[in-house]
Structure 1
């Protein structure tokens, strides 16, 4: 069993979800869409976004979680400077953005790096610049328009809701039959 699974136990509750590691797939400011290839254990170039939009924050996932769309739970990490594909960051959740795409519900947990002095004081979405929140929402409303794919935006949830979603996705993964190799980077 990995150290990660030792941290994420079967009795995971929202109160226990304070910090966790995420794997970055797409850096802030990029139009390139990268995805982690679980079989190869490498980052794979997927495509360039069809629009001129750029990711408003680092984008990745929480390893060893299972979201409702069948993938690991997505995250946006509010970084001061972009990192790089494959970077692992210890983060804390501050909220969640609800949306759905062609695969179904596709929530994005909004996080900040624990060790970034510019962001580590943020504890909830209400601490963020309201314009940044609008940019994130706008990005996800329109980034697939030129691909003619439908996205439904469902609004925002606070830090407590984000923690509950993370905890549920950890337990869902642990109780699922999904092979570990399909959601784990370890």
Structure 2
């Protein structure tokens, strides 16, 4: 099984941490532009159950990068909140994201479909993945991962699955085969993951998230069922069989699809690789969220404030 880490390169336009930043993908074998949503295969090796994962947010970082649904060729951009680049706050004891966070290509959580297990429609994005290996990735890396389990988050009333995966080259990969192995070899990580997703939007004034399936991490078999459903939904999307909404279907490899472009007609801008813009000072703060207060009409520590913040030391 070839696990080349250098199949794809990025063309980065604009300064990171600004609304103008774009990271476009190209395939190194023939230097053609590709969409990380549509052109990168779901499977790296289907026989060995090895999947591709596009990293959006490296572990311990706060900038909320994501594959753009709407822009042509689906570059990675920074999410926008209140007309500003979005940064996820650090809620004690976590510093930014606690895993390499990203998505599986060629999947789609269908917003037209109500999942019977969650009683909610999909969130209109590729399925999210938390890669729990030891190495810190970079935005735009394409990792080869194995599936371990899944958590059913309800984000503003939408189904927002969170896969738990590990890089197949990680030293622990040979010991982790299902969700129970994660608790055995990485005790506390699953509880921290559930807690993180529950509270991470609270400092921005949002209520805590809720969970489907009683907040239980489901096993690999269940996760594979969800992935297959999202893969089938993506296939209908890219084939033009369902309403696409604001999603760009542009691709350069999927023959016969409505969004197929001639690679010769897709000219990516040169890679600028500019230095990042300054980030907000509050990213150096820890926000202390009273978990018990969240269950009591969202009354948190220190009166009516949503949380208190102290500078990270």
Normalised TM-score (structure 1): 0.84
After superposing on structure 2, the runs of 4+ consecutive aligned residues of structure 1 that deviate more than 6 Å are: 183-186
Q: CA deviation at 1:103?
A: 5.2
2:181 corresponding residue in structure 1 = 127
Change (3 A) 1:125 1:3: closer
- In structure 2, what is the equivalent of residue 11 of structure 1? none
> 2:158 aligns to what?
104
CA contact under 8 A between 1:23 and 1:63: conserved in structure 2?
yes
Aligned to 2:307: none
Aligned pair count reads 179
3-state SS of 2:41 partner? helix
Map Cα deviations across residues 109-155 of structure 1 (whole Å, 9 max, x no partner).
11111122233431111111230111111110110111222411232
Rounded to whole Å, the distance in 1 between the matches of 2:252 and 2:134 is 25
Partner Cα separation in structure 2 for residue 103 and residue 185 of structure 1: 34
Q: Which residue of 57, 75, 87 corresponds with 1:48?
A: 87
**Are residue 90 (structure 1) and residue 144 (structure 2) matched?**
yes
Aligned Cα root-mean-square deviation (Å): 2.8
What is the Cα deviation at residue 181 of structure 1? 3.8
Deviates more, 1:124-133 or 1:136-145: 124-133
Relative to structure 1, is the Cα distance of residues 51 and 3 closer, same or farther in structure 2, using a 3 angstrom cutoff?
closer
Cα separation, 1, equivalents of 2:229 and 2:67 = 22
* Partner Cα separation in structure 2 for residue 91 and residue 42 of structure 1: 22
8 Å CA contact retained: 1:63, 1:184: no
User: For 1:76 and 1:26, how far apart are their aligned partners in 2?
Assistant: 10
Q: Does 1:21 align with 2:60?
A: no
Counterpart check, 1:61 vs 2:92: no
Candidates 129, 145, 152, aligned match of 2:210:
152
* Cα contact 1:78–1:119 (8 A) shared by 2: no
Separation in structure 2 between the aligned mates of residue 183 and residue 63 of structure 1, nearest angstrom: 14
Query: CA–CA distance in 2 between the matches of 1:94 and 1:114?
Result: 11
8 Å contact from structure 1 (residues 72, 183) kept in 2: no
Partners in 2 of 1:36 and 1:122 — Cα distance? 28
Structure 2: state its 5+ residue gaps.
1-37, 80-85, 110-121, 254-313
Structure 1, unpaired ranges of 5+: 9-14
Structure 1, 47-56 or 123-132: larger mean CA deviation: 47-56
Q: How far does the alpha carbon of each residue in 1:136-185 deviate from its partner, in whole angstroms, 9 at most, with x for none?
A: 11110110111222411232100101111101100111123338845979
